Structure 1
Amino acid sequence: MVAILAADVAGYSRLMGSDEEGTLSHLKALRRTHVDPAITAHRGRIVKTTGDGMLVEFASAVDATRCAVKAQREMAERNADVPQGSRIEFRMGIHVGDIIIDDNDIFGDGVNIAARLEGIAEPGGVCISDDAYRQIRGKVDITFDDMGSQSLKNIAEPMRAWRSRIDTNSSTVESVRPTTETAPPLGLPDKPSIAVLPFQNMSGDPEQDYFADGMVEDIITALSQVKWFFVIARNSSFIYKGRPVNVKQVARDLGVRYVLEGSVRKAGGRVRITGQLIQAETGRHIWADRFDGELADVFNLQDQVTSSVVGAIEPSLREAEIARARCKPTERLDAYEWYLRALPHFYTLNRESLDKAIVLLGQAIAIDPHFALAKALAARCYAWRNPQGWATVPEEEKAIAVRLGREALQDGDHDPSVLWMVGFVMWQLRVDPEGALELYDRSLSLNANCAQALALRGWALATAGRLDEAVPALLQALRLSPFDPEAFFTMSALGCAYLMARRFDEAFKWTSRALRQRPTFAPALRFHAVCLVKLG
């Protein structure tokens, strides 16, 4: 009975293909300075090595885990200044079990399981079996996250596994999640429900966060176009950005059955997307895959990810055509990157951030004059600024917003996001309220799970006096995005709807909630004041 550590180099074939001599020299140096000394210090024995990996025997799981953590932490520190495409990163798996010793080699299920656990570990990470976890719990300075039951290749029974990525900045990795304990648990929808968490930016460059975020937004949009899915909106799933999360808790917070997480690694002209779909209740990995390609093919890679996720949730869908938009938002990826850079500024929703978003979107439109999505978002920025009193020349900016919106429709009337954004412009600026409703309806016919389109449609219906239709649409928008930073807009619309129905207590509840989230939102203030008067 021993602890077995299996390790190999992630992406070894690619590294050898690009620089065989340099890779071998670098790997030998890392073994000599970091890996082998860690093994010796923790009383391990190297049983055998392969071209890119090794099998190591330890007397205890604690020694094996401490060795893995020390080696991975030192490797991460050394890699900090190495270009992403040239880094050597180990994946490590650890298991405790019986082995058979024969001529200084070791065999048996214990060895096979360690090797399979190494195969599902992340580059730079450690994956351990439940047997090993019980041995090390409370004895090592790192936290492992529960992966649930895993089906390992050529292993008869599924096994529970635990994983951790090494944090080079501290000795421990704490489990952190948003504070949502006070919120009541959300009921599960009666159809497949999914939340897509922010993908990790593995490029080693914080400036590339926008690329990973944009990738997730596109995947959420594509998934949402499958009408039989319930998809949590972007703004709610992104509250987990940059935080280690417990998948089961995320699913409870958002009221979903499935969680998709992954990473994006961008280096030079290539991109790698990895993703894994988890059944939250059991922690079981339903699907995991990776996609490599040129940046020019990034949208095709996103289509592959989306197709695989749909097929994993409902096997029968593999035979069906996936109902989602196939068109690329722009043929010029450089223009698209400017659009992605503008998104976080827009979501901040203050005067300075909208100014920055407009400048960045102008860069995208200058590169690709037919980039409908960029024009629609720019028009939305102007339409948001105008009623807030932030417009420098209100009438001129109103005209710019309308022009950009109409141009966006000429090039993108098949894009559900373009449709609802332009609808917002036409309704917010009171250019064509009836036409705005038609645009919302067209958008929802293409993407039934779009929280923004539902919220805007609900507000337009409320102001048109169609309250029986408005309230269900607004409540559904909140359900699709329960932690949305823009929820104050939807809550204000519910206040408006109940106010017009003369249900002042209900209206007061929603305007109060809206103002707790955004105390300066003028429409909510007006409705709230009326409620106070009507309630005495």
Structure 2
Amino acid sequence: MQGSRFAFGPFVLDPGAGTLLRNDVPVAVGYRGLSLLAALVGRPGEILGKAELMDAAWPGTAVEEGNLTVQIAQLRKLLGPVDEGGEWISTVPRVGYRFTGAVEQLGDTRPKPLPLPDKPSIAVLPFVNFSNDPEQDSFADGLTEDLITDLSRISGLFVIARNSTFAYKGKAMDVREIAGDLGVRYLLEGSARRAADRVRINAQLVDAVSGEHLWAERFDRGLEDIFAVQDEVTAKIVEALLGRLRAPPPRNRPQNLEAYDLCVRARKLIDDSPQTAREAHLMLTRAVSLDPQYAEAYRWLAMNHWMGWVHWGEPVEPNRSVALELARKAVAIDPNDAGCHWVLGNLLAYERSFSEADAEFAKAFELDPNEADAWATLSDITVLAGRVDVGLEQIRKAFRLNPFPASWYYLTLGQAQYAAREYEAAVETLRRDETYRTSSRRFLAASLAQLGRIDEARAEVEMFLISNPHFTTRHWVMTEPFRDAAIQEHFVDGFRKAGLPE
């Protein structure tokens, strides 16, 4: 899952770590220069066009060609001449640039396997769609996600979150390698075939340490029995790993399979962009019209409205009040769904109803201690309450449950690092590919400003305002659930130094 390193002359470039070494000594190189060098070194001898290089260093941003010329000149000065004379980077007039040196790819810089938790640990890999219809991919994905949710509710298990297991979708990898990446002992693999009103599911539980298959079974059922099959698979796994346990309270299940399919598709789109969020809104609205007692659809619809006014620049009202109403309805329909509780807890925090919010999060973790998104969301709220060390612990717990998470985890971590005055760490986090180019740029700009790197901070502010033209610090402060005046002033100070609008 990690990138390769490249050796040329006395240099070793590690794009993933963001480092350049000369004779094992770090070389000071800016983010843009490092991005350009990685693009060139990754394809030695090839001509890379100016547009391609500018996109590598300034992704998603229109810049003058002169910026590229300046960065290339700085790289040449930094690298110096090749031993036998000449330059590492040659110009191809009116076209672009080419890396002329000999490059050796050193291979993957794989991290050490994560230590195993102190309880049985499992990851559910994406079930393979064995139907002839590619449209049934969402059905197989939904099955995988539901099994993750059901297993997560077992307090005696450590369960990896959906984002991280779906990083392996469509990839042929050794189970030991995957287990090492995720820090788990057991993997659940399977396939699903849906045709007309029938479904066939194969599932097997593997011990990645010994390679032993602990349990395997095939289910041929009517489509209407799909949720009973999910319950049966969950029970078999729990019995294999923990013995017979009392089952947790049952979750609300959808009564309409079309509504279920719509919800599965919508939850993949909900936080990608304003455009995909609108698409998700249509799907979820249709889902609750088809199944008015479908709690999960209501809670995702609540999040959709919340993200509209907090992140996508939509009007505060009616989105704010509609979101809260939908979240309360989701909890009323299914009080045993941890997801419904943490979504309501998050919205209550933004209403400044902090005691109610805390109670909802506590209930969520009582029902599902493995809910990574809830830990990450709570971290944000805890940091703004002034309990920065606790907030850092919560986001790190979220990363352990979800080692390859959605981009917003990095925003939350970077914000927590800024609050802890760990500015260098915040810059490193917020410049990762996973979150760079998103609204996290405001925290990157503030961190750079606190380090005295004002020019870089102003450049980030300029790019942030392209996609957030109506941002003001005053509105942001009014929106966020601050509970600590000193923390609030620290963020305002960083925004002001970076040049964000008042």
TM over 0.5: yes
| Residue type at the aligned position of 1:334 | E
Q: Which residue of 2 aligns with 1:525?
A: 441
| Residue type at the aligned position of 1:201 | N
Does residue 500 (structure 1) correspond to residue 419 (structure 2)? The answer is yes
| Residue type at the aligned position of 1:329 | R
Following superposition, the deviation at residue 265 of structure 1 comes to 1.5
Following superposition, the deviation at residue 244 of structure 1 comes to 2.3
Following superposition, the deviation at residue 321 of structure 1 comes to 1.4
Does residue 355 (structure 1) correspond to residue 283 (structure 2)? The answer is no
| Residue type at the aligned position of 2:326 | L
Q: Which residue of 2 aligns with 1:321?
A: 246
Q: Which residue of 2 aligns with 1:7?
A: none
| Residue type at the aligned position of 2:229 | L
Q: Is the CA contact 1:437–1:457 (under 8 Å) kept in the aligned structure 2?
A: no
Following superposition, the deviation at residue 345 of structure 1 comes to 2.2
Q: Which residue of 1 aligns with 2:224?
A: 296
SS in 2 for 1:389: coil
Q: Which residue of 2 aligns with 1:470?
A: 391
Q: Which runs of 5+ in 1 are unaligned?
A: 1-178
Q: Is the CA contact 2:389–2:420 (under 8 Å) kept in the aligned structure 1?
A: no
Following superposition, the deviation at residue 433 of structure 1 comes to 4.4
Q: Which residue of 2 aligns with 1:401?
A: 323
Q: Which residue of 2 aligns with 1:92?
A: none
| Residue type at the aligned position of 2:246 | E
Does residue 201 (structure 1) correspond to residue 129 (structure 2)? The answer is yes
Q: Which residue of 1 aligns with 2:37?
A: none
| Residue type at the aligned position of 2:323 | A
Q: Which residue of 1 aligns with 2:64?
A: none
Following superposition, the deviation at residue 431 of structure 1 comes to 5.5
The Cα offsets for residues 55-111 of structure 1, whole Å up to 9 and x where unpaired, read as: xxxxxxxxxxxxxxxxxxxxxxxxxxxxxxxxxxxxxxxxxxxxxxxxxxxxxxxxx
The Cα offsets for residues 243-275 of structure 1, whole Å up to 9 and x where unpaired, read as: 223212111111111111001121222222210
Following superposition, the deviation at residue 400 of structure 1 comes to 2.3
Q: Which residue of 1 aligns with 2:187?
A: 259
Does residue 371 (structure 1) correspond to residue 294 (structure 2)? The answer is yes
Q: Which residue of 2 aligns with 1:335?
A: 259
Q: Which residue of 2 aligns with 1:425?
A: 347
| Residue type at the aligned position of 1:376 | R
My pick for the range that moved more, 355-364 or 185-194, is: 185-194
Following superposition, the deviation at residue 375 of structure 1 comes to 0.9
> How many angstroms apart in 2 are the aligned matches of 1:473 and 1:266?
39
The Cα offsets for residues 473-492 of structure 1, whole Å up to 9 and x where unpaired, read as: 110100111111x1x32332
Q: Which residue of 2 aligns with 1:28?
A: none
Q: Is the CA contact 1:325–1:415 (under 8 Å) kept in the aligned structure 2?
A: no
Q: Which runs of 5+ in 2 are unaligned?
A: 1-106, 453-502
Q: Is the CA contact 2:252–2:295 (under 8 Å) kept in the aligned structure 1?
A: no
Q: Is the CA contact 2:410–2:429 (under 8 Å) kept in the aligned structure 1?
A: yes
- Percent of aligned pairs with the same residue? 37
The Cα offsets for residues 251-300 of structure 1, whole Å up to 9 and x where unpaired, read as: 11111111110011212222222100111122211110112222222111
Q: 1:229 to 1:413 in 2, by over 3 A?
A: same
Q: Is the CA contact 2:299–2:340 (under 8 Å) kept in the aligned structure 1?
A: yes
Q: Is the CA contact 1:380–1:424 (under 8 Å) kept in the aligned structure 2?
A: no
Q: Which residue of 2 aligns with 1:491?
A: 410
Q: Is the CA contact 1:299–1:328 (under 8 Å) kept in the aligned structure 2?
A: no
Q: Which residue of 2 aligns with 1:149?
A: none
The Cα offsets for residues 111-155 of structure 1, whole Å up to 9 and x where unpaired, read as: xxxxxxxxxxxxxxxxxxxxxxxxxxxxxxxxxxxxxxxxxxxxx
> How many angstroms apart in 1 are the aligned matches of 2:419 and 2:251?
41
> How many angstroms apart in 1 are the aligned matches of 2:347 and 2:111?
33
Following superposition, the deviation at residue 336 of structure 1 comes to 1.7
Residues matched between the structures, number? 346
Does residue 534 (structure 1) correspond to residue 450 (structure 2)? The answer is yes
Q: Which residue of 2 aligns with 1:172?
A: none
> How many angstroms apart in 2 are the aligned matches of 1:219 and 1:325?
15
Q: Which residue of 1 aligns with 2:431?
A: 512
Following superposition, the deviation at residue 206 of structure 1 comes to 0.8
Q: Which residue of 2 aligns with 1:312?
A: 240
| Residue type at the aligned position of 1:361 | L
Does residue 461 (structure 1) correspond to residue 387 (structure 2)? The answer is no
> How many angstroms apart in 1 are the aligned matches of 2:288 and 2:166?
26
Following superposition, the deviation at residue 396 of structure 1 comes to 2.2
> How many angstroms apart in 1 are the aligned matches of 2:223 and 2:147?
16
| Residue type at the aligned position of 2:318 | E
Following superposition, the deviation at residue 527 of structure 1 comes to 2.2
Following superposition, the deviation at residue 382 of structure 1 comes to 1.7
> How many angstroms apart in 2 are the aligned matches of 1:195 and 1:180?
23
Q: Is the CA contact 1:380–1:422 (under 8 Å) kept in the aligned structure 2?
A: no
Q: 1:501 to 1:341 in 2, by over 3 A?
A: closer
| Residue type at the aligned position of 2:420 | A
Kindly name which structure, 1 or 2, has the bigger radius of gyration based on alpha carbons: 1
Does residue 277 (structure 1) correspond to residue 205 (structure 2)? The answer is yes
SS in 2 for 1:287: strand
Following superposition, the deviation at residue 357 of structure 1 comes to 0.8
- TM-score computed with the length of structure 2 as normaliser: 0.65
Q: Which residue of 1 aligns with 2:310?
A: 387
| Residue type at the aligned position of 1:521 | T
> How many angstroms apart in 2 are the aligned matches of 1:521 and 1:441?
30
Which residue of the other structure, out of 335, 338, 362, is the alignment partner of 1:413?
335
Q: Which residue of 1 aligns with 2:370?
A: 449
Q: Is the CA contact 1:455–1:477 (under 8 Å) kept in the aligned structure 2?
A: yes
Q: Is the CA contact 2:324–2:348 (under 8 Å) kept in the aligned structure 1?
A: yes
| Residue type at the aligned position of 2:134 | P
| Residue type at the aligned position of 1:364 | A
SS in 1 for 2:173: coil
> How many angstroms apart in 1 are the aligned matches of 2:252 and 2:209?
35
Q: Is the CA contact 1:440–1:456 (under 8 Å) kept in the aligned structure 2?
A: no
The Cα offsets for residues 212-253 of structure 1, whole Å up to 9 and x where unpaired, read as: 111111100111111121111000000111222321211111
Q: Is the CA contact 2:203–2:216 (under 8 Å) kept in the aligned structure 1?
A: yes
SS in 1 for 2:239: helix
Following superposition, the deviation at residue 521 of structure 1 comes to 2.8
Does residue 227 (structure 1) correspond to residue 155 (structure 2)? The answer is yes
The Cα offsets for residues 459-514 of structure 1, whole Å up to 9 and x where unpaired, read as: 11111012232121110100111111x1x32332233333333333444443334x
> How many angstroms apart in 1 are the aligned matches of 2:246 and 2:237?
14
- TM-score computed with the length of structure 1 as normaliser: 0.61
Does residue 192 (structure 1) correspond to residue 120 (structure 2)? The answer is yes
Q: Is the CA contact 1:199–1:264 (under 8 Å) kept in the aligned structure 2?
A: yes
Alpha-carbon RMSD: 2.1
| Residue type at the aligned position of 2:320 | K
Q: Which residue of 2 aligns with 1:435?
A: 356
